[in-house]
Structure 1
Amino acid sequence: MFKRSLYSIALALFLVTSALTIYFGKETFHFNTPPAGAESPPAYHFVLIPEELDNDYWHLVEQGAREAARHLHVHLEYLGPKQADLEEHLKTIDMAIAGKVDGIMTQAINDGEFSPLIKKAGEKGIPLVTIDTDAPGSSRKAYIGTDNYYAGFLAGKALLTDTEGEQFVGIVTGRLEAAHQKLRVQGFRDAVEHEKRVQILDVKESNITKIGAVEAAYGLLKAHPQITALYGTSALDGSGMAQVVERLRTDNPPYVIAFDTLPETISYLESGLIDATIVQYPYKMGYRAVQSLVALQEGKKLDELQHTETTVLRKENLPFSPLSQRGEVQ
């Protein structure tokens, strides 16, 4: 009798949770039909789900997506965790599916629950494309973004070009288990692998925060005072590493190569505390992602891998404007 009661309670909780997910999904991902005589309703309803909402990099992705949505008559929503949060990210995807949107754009997550969600979306006729980070083993329709291995390889080649003599490298990475971060580290390793003058000493995690990057860089330099170069693989790592180098104020500061072009990163590049940074094209990622979802709705075939450009930016290439990251969008 007791077991039967527990089973009944568990079943009731499950049904209530499922009902709430569907209800809030429909309420969140819903736009009103314009009144008679007003502009015609959008052709499609897409949602862009970033790693975290208040992030300069993802705002550039959003800008590109909104520009494409304006041109292609798409209603676009930008929703997700305020700060990087796996559970909240997955929940937002699930709510988008429950809300019956016409397409989903999101960063892939290295998690066992992510691929089943993509499959669930497909079963309900909702195409999903990944941005910035891919999930090649899933049923996503396409990946639009940086070739992260190649980006890491470029960083390694930049180190070889810009330095002479023995180099002892410390790496700061956003998350040790994040797929795109691992590719950026591996690409760097492979670029310097056959150079006997370069030795990678250690890798530390920043948890995709500036304070985490400061702590990781300080920990690397404290544990390995012989370090002559620092490489950061996520957007906030560069400014965190530069801040530590600035505080130490040594006569022979380490070579610093960062990732992305946030305003603070560019400022440190101007001052010489950062020597180079890897440039991505997030605006183009957002624009192409919307184009891809529209193409899928129209029954067109897509290239599964749509890599956007990656370049190296140095002080001599300044001034630099984020608008230059738009590139040519077609």
Structure 2
Amino acid sequence: MNRTFIIYAILISLFITTLGFFFYFYQQVQIFDKKLEETNSSETRSSKHHFVLIGEEMGHDYWRLVGEGAKKAESRYDVVVQYEGGPKRSNPDEQLKLFDMAIKSKVDGIIIQALNDEFTPMINKAVKKGIPVITIDTDAPESMRSTYIGTDNYKAGQMAGQALIEDTDGKAIIGIVTGGMDKDNHQHQLRLEGFKDTIAQVEGIKIVAMAESNLSRVKAEEKAYEMLTEHDDITAFYGTSSLDGMGIVAAANNLNKNDLYVMTFDTLTENIRLLKKGKIDAIVGQQPFEMGEKSIEIMLDLLTGGNSVQDVYQTNVTIIRTSDLPLKGSERMGLLD
């Protein structure tokens, strides 16, 4: 009897959890749909073009910067840029739903992060319906997209590997915490490949552990903690997402590992603070603000024929160390003050 009761309790709990996710997702789609209707019925009457930007995670500092860049371009041109009601957490399925809704609303252009291969047919669907698509941050080169704007992620990985070699004099035992290694994480795969291909040329460096953080600071801390307890000889960490470095530092602090070399991505405020304190040794700086701003300018070029459009627009990548502070110029565009 007790066992049956427990099984039923578990099943009911799973049902309630699933139902909760369904209603959350439904609510987000409704918000996005309402925004589309409001924008189509009001602002676009006085504007020439209506663009939709669909990023990975609305609440993430990196994607806030992408949105701010797009909104800056909106303020300069006769366009409406919709960047509300998107995913609150990383969710490729939700992004695809929002993408499909934007197509059905017949917007003038769509800017999308192509997280995995499932985005290619949706991009092709939009283009066949006469809606140009720009991929941002993560590319879908086999699709019919007009252009890609963002980081050359393989090159970024190479730069990270070379910086680690220089900073450690070619001697390091490495643990890697990555945003993801599956098909939903193209950019992290490329950052890993570029990094591994570069350090493979140096005999004194080897990787002993690797785990996924799923773009979560808490998960990054958990995985780094596990690595450090299982591999006491680790001397350096490489994190491929903006939250990985924070999690690695937290794990190192908990274990009183104060001499680790830590490299992570993105000049977010907390990462800069940890860099200043010497807890992070190097940051791979991207340009999310520039990506957002440039995507709107390029979309206008596509629609007006004002300038020829390249197949790829690679934004700048820099390796930032303590000696590079304070940041100047374009490097500050990736920093939240």
TM-score normalised by the chain length of structure 2: 0.84
Q: Which amino acid aligns with 2:87?
A: P
Given that 1:153 and 1:190 are in contact with CA atoms closer than 8 Å, whether structure 2 keeps it comes out as yes
Q: What's the counterpart of residue 218 of structure 2? A: 211
Gaps spanning 5+ residues in structure 1: where?
1-21
How far off is 1:40 after superposition? 7.3
Between the aligned partners of 2:261 and 2:325, the Cα distance in structure 1 is 18
Give yes or no for the alignment of 1:184 onto 2:191: yes
Between the aligned partners of 1:266 and 1:26, the Cα distance in structure 2 is 37
Give yes or no for the alignment of 1:129 onto 2:134: yes
Q: What's the counterpart of residue 298 of structure 2? A: 292
Q: Which amino acid aligns with 1:95?
A: M
Q: Which amino acid aligns with 1:194?
A: Q
1:113-137 CA-to-partner distances (Å, cap 9, x unmatched) read: x111101101111111111111111
2:152 aligned to which of 147, 165, 181: 147
2:82 aligned to which of 69, 77, 92: 77
> After superposition, where does 1:40-79 map in structure 2 within 5 Å?
41-79=46-84
Between the aligned partners of 1:159 and 1:166, the Cα distance in structure 2 is 9
Secondary structure in structure 2 of the residue aligned to 1:29: helix
CA 28–278 in structure 1, closer or farther in 2 if over 3 Å, else same: same
Between the aligned partners of 2:167 and 2:267, the Cα distance in structure 1 is 19
CA 203–29 in structure 1, closer or farther in 2 if over 3 Å, else same: same
1:92 aligned to which of 76, 79, 98: 98
How far off is 1:203 after superposition? 1.5
Aligned residues: 301
Q: What's the counterpart of residue 170 of structure 1? A: 175
Given that 1:154 and 1:312 are in contact with CA atoms closer than 8 Å, whether structure 2 keeps it comes out as yes
Query: Which aligned segments of 4 or more residues in structure 1 are displaced greater than 3 angstroms?
Result: 22-28, 32-35, 320-327
Cα RMSD after superposing both structures: 2.2
1:203-260 CA-to-partner distances (Å, cap 9, x unmatched) read: 2000001011111111221222111100000010011111111222235x21100100
Between the aligned partners of 1:180 and 1:126, the Cα distance in structure 2 is 25
How far off is 1:52 after superposition? 0.6
> After superposition, where does 1:187-202 map in structure 2 within 5 Å?
187-202=194-209
Between the aligned partners of 1:55 and 1:227, the Cα distance in structure 2 is 29
How far off is 1:316 after superposition? 1.4
Between the aligned partners of 1:313 and 1:66, the Cα distance in structure 2 is 27
Given that 1:149 and 1:184 are in contact with CA atoms closer than 8 Å, whether structure 2 keeps it comes out as yes
Give yes or no for the alignment of 1:119 onto 2:138: no
Q: Which amino acid aligns with 2:266?
A: D
Given that 1:24 and 1:95 are in contact with CA atoms closer than 8 Å, whether structure 2 keeps it comes out as no
How far off is 1:139 after superposition? 1.1
Between the aligned partners of 1:263 and 1:273, the Cα distance in structure 2 is 14
Between the aligned partners of 1:24 and 1:316, the Cα distance in structure 2 is 45
Q: What's the counterpart of residue 18 of structure 2? A: none
1:250-301 CA-to-partner distances (Å, cap 9, x unmatched) read: 35x2110010011111111111110010000111101110011111111353
Between the aligned partners of 1:88 and 1:64, the Cα distance in structure 2 is 23
Q: Which amino acid aligns with 1:74?
A: V
Give yes or no for the alignment of 1:226 onto 2:233: yes
Gaps spanning 5+ residues in structure 2: where?
1-28
Q: What's the counterpart of residue 8 of structure 1? A: none
Between the aligned partners of 1:247 and 1:303, the Cα distance in structure 2 is 48
Between the aligned partners of 1:243 and 1:25, the Cα distance in structure 2 is 36
How far off is 1:111 after superposition? 3.6
Q: What's the counterpart of residue 115 of structure 2? A: 109
Give yes or no for the alignment of 1:264 onto 2:270: yes
Between the aligned partners of 2:323 and 2:31, the Cα distance in structure 1 is 51
TM-score normalised by the chain length of structure 1: 0.86
